[in-house]
Amino acid sequence: MLSCLLFKLFGLMSNSAFRLTGVFGGTFDPIHYGHLRVAEEIAEMIGLQEMRFIPARRPRLREAPVAPYCHREAMVHIAIECNPAFILDGRETRSSGVSYSVETLRELKRELGADAILCFIVGADAFTRFAQWHDWLEIFDLCHLIIVRRPGVELNMNRDNLPPELWEACAQRWVANPDDLRKARSGLIFPAPTILLDISATAIRVRLAAGKSVRYLLPDATLDYISAHHLYVDKV
């Protein structure tokens, strides 16, 4: 625990004139190595000063999470506590309604100030539905989008794979070099070539409900927490 605290302190001492902040939202039901590896690669690839994990209380465009918010938040904390660049952002604790990404990004911009460049991670599957998000066009004014591969979903963002409205809004925003994200405050889209670990929270829950092993799919400490609190038993 002491070593984790020291790593956190040293990470805070390395701030630069402006901060590239990753924003990684999701239900994390539960968090697993697929999430953690993507976050690590993007932080390294883009040169992020920090990666904020923001568990969603109640997402609008997907089924309600299985585990209560307090447990999902605790599992994220346990999984990331020894990484100096990873931060648990528990702002959804204060929310009782539906989670809107645009509201979270507005809050972060106000809190972090003009020197912060937000890089918002979006899965390829969720991005195809991006035009259904609440106030989705405003999101381009608040952050850059980092599109990551998802199991079973091709990272192929051409005209044939996107709704016309989304394609038109994004056509001039794509960049292939992560260094370009430092040249603008917001509005660019970077498809990140991350390693794809074919792990899903749904599959983990199914295995747990069936009494099967999920070791090596998520951190041992997180698995210990799941066992201690009897999460996902007879639930998928």
Contact between 25 and 104 under an 8 Å Cβ cutoff? The reply is yes
Is residue 235 a part of any domain in this protein? no
Residue 119 has what DSSP assignment? E
Find the range with the poorest average confidence among 94-103, 193-202, 203-212: 94-103
Find the range with the poorest average confidence among 13-22, 32-41, 76-85, 112-121: 13-22
Work out the average pLDDT over 5-31: 68
What are the pLDDT digits (tens) for 44-76?
Answer: 999 999 999 999 988 776 788 999 999 999 999
33 has pLDDT over 80 = yes
Is residue 176 a part of any domain in this protein? yes
Is residue 14 a part of any domain in this protein? no
17 has pLDDT over 70 = no
Give the residue among 163, 225, 194 at the shortest CA–CA distance from 30. 225
CATH code at position 191: 3.40.50.620
Percent of the chain with pLDDT over 90: 73
Is residue 234 a part of any domain in this protein? no
Is residue 184 a part of any domain in this protein? yes
Pull the structure tokens for residue 94: 């204060």
Contact between 183 and 192 under an 8 Å Cβ cutoff? The reply is no
Is residue 53 a part of any domain in this protein? yes
* pLDDT interval class at 96 (50, 70, 90): low
Work out the average pLDDT over 167-196: 94
Give the residue among 37, 23, 59 at the shortest CA–CA distance from 195. 37
What is residue 2's predicted lDDT score, i.e. its pLDDT?
39
Pull the structure tokens for residue 132: 């259904």
Find the range with the poorest average confidence among 11-20, 128-137, 188-197: 11-20
Q: Is 173 helix (H, G, I), strand (E, B) or coil?
A: coil
10 has pLDDT over 60 = no
What is residue 7's predicted lDDT score, i.e. its pLDDT?
39
Is residue 189 a part of any domain in this protein? yes
Domain around 130? 2-9+20-228
What is residue 182's predicted lDDT score, i.e. its pLDDT?
92
How many domains does the chain divide into? 1
What is the total residue count of the chain?
A: 236
Residue 63 has what DSSP assignment? P
Work out the average pLDDT over 93-117: 88
Contact between 149 and 195 under an 8 Å Cβ cutoff? The reply is no
Is residue 146 a part of any domain in this protein? yes
What are the pLDDT digits (tens) for 131-173?
Answer: 999 999 999 999 999 999 877 776 666 777 789 999 999 999 9
What is residue 63's predicted lDDT score, i.e. its pLDDT?
83
Contact between 112 and 147 under an 8 Å Cβ cutoff? The reply is no
Which uninterrupted H or E stretch holds 224? helix 220-228
Percent of the chain with pLDDT over 70: 88
